[in-house]
Structure 1
Amino acid sequence: MAAAKGAERTHRFHVRTPEGVAFSYRLASPVLRLAALMVDWMTVTAAWMILATIIGLLSIVSRDIAGMVMAISYFLLSQGYRIAAEWLWRGQTIGKKVMRLRVVDERGLRLTFAQIALRNLLRAVDGLPFAYLVGGLAALFSRKAQRLGDLAAGTLVVWEPVEATPDLSTLQTGKYNSLRGHLPVVARLRQSVTPGEARAAWQALARRDTFEDAARVKLFAELAEHFRGITPMPPEAAEGVSDEQFVRNVVEVLYLERK
């Protein structure tokens, strides 16, 4: 409850993508970001205790070699964990998942590996001289609450509130869904599609009759391309299916078939 109240005090940031799609993000509060940082620190510490015990066996051969391996290993673990997690989980680490935070591109585009690596490698600067003082001051004076790593990478940290299941009664679901039976594809979509993306797709379907034909075709082509790019699709799951129906299929498996 306390986390939820703290999150309500965060600010919104509006962005329009090059395709003209508008998004509204709720910027993460410093309290939530600090809590996520502590969870990640505990995660890395727990993993390091196990790894250090194993590496310590090298001291039997040479303490110098063991010390060098430990220094390199800790750097790779602490930095590699955040970079790998944010890349694989689309802007989230364990700490961010717990606190419902996510790193996003400030222009509304898909995060790139270079952005994730840059924002994390610059933690060394943001952490100076102690307790993230530089990064904290940068976020305090930044309009979008960005530390130096975020400013350099063009990223934001946003808070994702729990999304209520939308009313899907008007979406003509229940037809044949080409994604059914492809459990790995469905699992990947559910893992990777953000609540905001799912709601945007639902809203596009709900408002389909308000769009001009050309705009509707373009919109669903872009949405379908986005979802198809998340995970490899078997031919039978995507071929011969219109873009609009494919988006409808994605929305259905995201909302209606969750067990």
Structure 2
Amino acid sequence: MTAASARTDKRRRTIVTPEGVALPVTVASRGARVAALLLDFFILYFGMIVFILVMIWLASGLMEEIANTAENKVSGASEFLAIVVILFFFLARYGYFLAFELGPRGATIGKRVCGIRIAARDGGRLTAEAVIARNLLRDIEMFLPIAFLLVAPSGEMGNAGIAGLIWFVLFMAFPFFNKDALRAGDVIAGTWVVEAPRTKLAEALSTQGAADGRSELTGTTYEFGEAELSIYGEHELQTLERVLRAGEAKAMAAVHETICNKIGWAPGAGDERAFLEAYYAQLRAKLESDMRFDKRKADKFSESA
């Protein structure tokens, strides 16, 4: 076993979903999280700079007037422009992370590039409350201590600077003192960051009867109606995908029984994979079809919107 493989094994965990399904996950490395955060900050602040340049191009004279507010009376137009800029910075700073992490992928652009995503530690769905909490805590973990450092007197650290430095170091070191690399925001929100493999499902989904619902093992054709497919959403589809990718017999049997009970079928035994592949293929087709009509179902608890 190589050193890299040994480090990866140390980050492997098993979570149990509310349905009782055990799913293997790999906790994201600290390096991947730092790289994702830096990339997100670059995208965010680059977008802010572009926005400011566009505003200058649209109203170059007003920007000069705002810069001289101490000596000249600011016009209504320049005040409006200042408000727009402030609102944009506020919405961009918080909206960027919230918008992407509340999406079905649970990841910002930086996290997607680094192959990681946010997940609930209890195996359930990622709630809006959890995402909001972990992002608000970032102010306490990072931005507030940086503000203390910035207001430190020129040429000397000062009490505010020392306090900010200690504050910053403590929170930045927090992920190194727990095995799951949780930051304080993750602890409060009940989340963690895990690897999101980019590998696609095995070809069995398209070559062993998954598309038409026919089992090569028993010859049974599994076809599901609108009501049976409407029970689940994108979150359950992703869970089912992970179960099929892992290929663990116990996990597939548990999911098979859960789905059958939910849709009113007799569970049976021996043909679980063919059943799950057919259900996955037909559920995915339905969700993709709904998305083309701007209808989305995040999970089994939500209505199509």
TM-score (norm 1): 0.67
SS of match in other structure, 1:166: coil
Choose the corresponding residue for 2:132, options 111, 117, 140.
117
Shift of 1:217: 3.7
1:164–1:68 distance in 2 versus 1, CA, 3 Å: closer
Matched residue type, 1:37? L
The Cα shift of 1:70 comes to 3.0
**Percent of aligned positions that are identical:** 26
**Partner residue, 1:182:** none
Residue equivalent to 1:138? 174
Letter in 2 for 1:114: E
Distance 2:262 2:176 in 1: 36
Q: 1:200 aligns with which of 230, 238, 243?
A: 243
Equivalent residue letter for 1:153 = A
Select which of 201, 208, 212 maps to 1:175.
212
- Cα pair distance change 1:30/1:50, threshold 3 Å: same
Q: Which amino acid in the other structure matches residue 85 of structure 2? A: M
Q: Which residue of 1 aligns with 2:282?
A: 249
Q: Deviations over 1:165-220 (max 9, x none)?
A: 425179533526989xxxxxxxx96x9954x641314667x849x849xx844245
Paired residue for 1:232? none
Shift of the 34–104 alpha-carbon distance from structure 1 to 2, 3 Å rule, reads same
Name the structure 1 match of 2:47.
Answer: 47
How far apart, CA to CA, are the structure 2 residues paired with 1:137 and 1:175?
Answer: 52
- Mean alpha-carbon deviation: is it higher for 101-110 or for 165-174? 165-174
Cα distance in 1, alignment partners of residues 139 and 85 from structure 2: 18
- The runs of 5 or more residues in structure 2 that have no matched partner are 70-78, 147-164, 214-221, 225-232, 264-274, 288-305
Determine the C-alpha separation between the residues in 1 that align with 2:117 and 2:242: 16
Pair 1:150-2:186 in alignment = yes
Decide which moves more: 169-178 or 135-144: 169-178
1:147-171 superposed Cα distances (whole Å, 9 cap, x missing partner) = 1111111110011234364251795
| Structure 1 unaligned blocks of 5 or more | 180-187, 224-241, 255-259
Indicate the larger mover: 157-166 or 120-129. Answer: 157-166
1:59 aligns with 2:74: no
The structure whose RCO (Cα within 8 Å, separation 6+) is larger is: 2
Distance 2:186 2:262 in 1: 27
Q: Give me the whole-angstrom Cα distance separating, in 2, the residues matched to 1:7 and 1:43.
A: 30
CA distance in 1: counterparts of 2:49 and 2:236, whole angstroms:
30
Q: Residues 122-169 of structure 1, C-alpha deviation per residue, up to 9 Å, x if partnerless? A: 111111534963432221123321111111111100112343642517
